[in-house]
Structure 1
């Protein structure tokens, strides 16, 4: 019997449309697909499928190539049907849906328990987590907690365990989304997560590659379909996730305990002693994911189960380029010009950030940009951690800075 041939597909399964609050008006399917191609993604979750106008966009602008699997006709990016919902405890859940008719059926069920399901792309329903799982499973959907550790609207913000959140439905929850401020090593300090598949997704609110695909998963599948993705999340028939790729969690905006107004950082003990009020500005101090994981941890060090893929820490390529060029703004013209040049040369951002050999980068971008990308890959850049709602950032440590050229060296390509 011939064994199936597997291929890997990068997928970001959690984004939002322009119909969600605080989201770019450019979060439309055409722009999402175009930018996903530049990023290097094969799959994107649609997000927001319960919103009627977004649902209509999906039906009219994408081609259904197999039940539950859609493709953009120009950019050939695959889409699967997804939505994030908020329960009555303000916990967010990500749902993957198998087909268009299921979207309509599940939406109808949730609409009975929502004051206005059309108000926002992220629907709020007056159900607890077990109630959401009941409806999802009755319609053959997959559901799990979104950004499970963040100090807003997350499972571990409101509950001390998955069982406390999902009750007798806990064994039906097959995945957990890590969120930007956590990674596998942090989550695998918690014993109850040993059998749960971890997802790394962007939760993007804008389509540009510093947001879309800033976290993603490499799925190993026989073919690029929704059904195969579900098998991989459930780890069935050899399908699985071979790599979670995401932020160094210190770059997340809720990694450290910090004031949500002035961003002063606190140790856990300092925050408790101050009754979670900032002694500098009087603002509220938000508990960081690092401290929350330490509260929940069963093990002092991570215990990775055999099925757990590696977690590769990344940052947006434009931020790494900006660091190399001495620019504070990752959207500065010189930075964007270099980003466009590298992506045009090597195909997409993921290739440049992770896979292209340093000598090829040097030929295309000059020695300084190549050296900083190489140092980033090796974990040699300094990470100033985020907290309180402000992202962390990268710095070039002094010992590395002294070895770099004073400015990017030009290549023959720059002279035409």
Structure 2
């Protein structure tokens, strides 16, 4: 069976997360998105584990069910050098024991615990309990593994189970790095709210015997990931090198020459695109034989928001989103599978936008510095000058 899974999300206990990130809200939204399996996130937080137990039915072999959605225990941990790691956990008993053993001052407060454990130490700890582990959003400039290391083995010393690409990268970028040819890639949403443009914005299609921890482990370790679905990378908020204050895109070499300072006085953050170019061994990607297809996605609500020039969480946008999903089953079906002529019958303004998305003719002002990229259609005005990378003449 083919299972759509999003393993990396956060609960209401994580900083900057919505108070609505509860099992009762995640489950129905994940189903409407087109997912069959969702990570719980924050599984080292005792209070969140209590809520999981109260809100779900345990089906066995690591799977907890609520409202027709299956959950597996997952967490993100911030380790040494502020590097983030994703861990997939066999069951609640193991999650509680690992939480007790993890040395962390904030694990009772924040869903994402901080610790001084190195990647290698975390790997050894969780491997004792048959967990799966890999770097979260591996290339991002604040907390990605490659922001501190030039090699994954410098971080973990041994081979980890997977590499999470993050919203600002895709397979075509990551497969320019030769050492990653032996690693499966995961694409997850890192959602902090259950809104449909966040939850499941990236996910994986896995071939599994059944929905269980054992099948998840087998699928990841034996190249049964059949597709990665993820944002067009330049929509990611760290795709390009940019100022974190004014969000101007800046040529990385210019940024280095100016000691990573913008003309506005703000700090410049190196983009994922440039970081990969620094560690890449190949000018073009070299995909290993087992690498599955990568399907680019754009959140349907953001397409609707752009077309109607309304906020993504407004009643107008959410109402149209709901109407389309009610008509075709899931957001994934609307974006990828449903005939354009049938979408036209529902909304004549949205159909051309989805067709443009499928053809890859949508333009995007790239994201950077913590600001997401902006979707543009042919009729949309040209981007403002601040979206153009700064050169030495601007200083």
Which category of TM-score, normalised to the shorter sequence, fits these structures? Answer: over 0.9
Deviation at 1:117, TM superposition (A): 2.3
Deviations 1:216-237 (A, max 9, x none): 011111212221111111116x
1:304 to 2:304 alignment: no
Q: What SS is found at the alignment partner of 1:342?
A: helix
Counterparts of residues 383-394 of structure 1 (less than 5 Å):
383-394=364-375
Counterparts of residues 74-223 of structure 1 (less than 5 Å):
75-110=67-102, 113-167=103-157, 169=158, 171=159, 173-223=160-210
Deviation at 1:163, TM superposition (A): 1.0
Quote the residue 2:317 is aligned against. Answer: 335
1:379 to 2:347 alignment: no
Partners of 2:222 and 2:195 lie apart in 1 by 31
Partners of 1:22 and 1:334 lie apart in 2 by 25
Counterparts in 2 of 1:387 and 1:399: CA distance versus 1, 3 Å: closer
Deviations 1:177-227 (A, max 9, x none): 000000000000000000101000000000111100010011111212221
Partner residue of 2:297 out of 314, 333, 340: 314
Quote the residue 2:350 is aligned against. Answer: 369
Deviations 1:47-71 (A, max 9, x none): 1111111000111211111220111
1:271 to 2:255 alignment: yes
Deviation at 1:116, TM superposition (A): 3.7
Q: What SS is found at the alignment partner of 1:194?
A: helix
Quote the residue 1:351 is aligned against. Answer: 333
Q: What SS is found at the alignment partner of 1:123?
A: coil
- Whether the aligned pair in 1 keeps the contact of 2:76 and 2:87 (CA below 8 Å) is yes
Deviation at 1:348, TM superposition (A): 1.4
Deviation at 1:400, TM superposition (A): 12
Deviation at 1:330, TM superposition (A): 2.1
Quote the residue 1:228 is aligned against. Answer: 215
Structure 2: runs of 5 or more not aligned: 383-395
* Bigger mean CA offset, 267-276 vs 299-308: 267-276
Partners of 1:89 and 1:299 lie apart in 2 by 28
User: Size of the alignment, in residue pairs?
Assistant: 382
- Whether the aligned pair in 1 keeps the contact of 2:45 and 2:99 (CA below 8 Å) is no
Partners of 1:371 and 1:223 lie apart in 2 by 38
Deviations 1:85-129 (A, max 9, x none): 11121100000011122112211221xx22342121001122111
Counterparts in 2 of 1:335 and 1:230: CA distance versus 1, 3 Å: same
Partner residue of 2:54 out of 54, 60, 76: 60
Deviation at 1:399, TM superposition (A): 10
Q: After TM superposition, which residue ranges in structure 1, 4 or more long, deviate above 4 angstroms? A: 398-401
Partners of 1:54 and 1:399 lie apart in 2 by 44
Counterparts in 2 of 1:400 and 1:390: CA distance versus 1, 3 Å: closer
* Bigger mean CA offset, 220-229 vs 143-152: 220-229
Q: What SS is found at the alignment partner of 2:81?
A: coil
Counterparts in 2 of 1:123 and 1:399: CA distance versus 1, 3 Å: closer
Which structure: larger Rg?
Answer: 1
Counterparts of residues 232-243 of structure 1 (less than 5 Å):
232-235=219-222, 240-243=224-227
Deviations 1:271-296 (A, max 9, x none): 112111001x1100000000000001
Question: What is the TM-score normalised by the length of structure 2?
Answer: 0.94
Q: What SS is found at the alignment partner of 1:303?
A: coil
Quote the residue 1:287 is aligned against. Answer: 270
Counterparts in 2 of 1:343 and 1:283: CA distance versus 1, 3 Å: same
Deviation at 1:156, TM superposition (A): 0.6
Partners of 1:215 and 1:65 lie apart in 2 by 26
- Whether the aligned pair in 1 keeps the contact of 2:262 and 2:268 (CA below 8 Å) is yes
Partners of 1:121 and 1:226 lie apart in 2 by 22
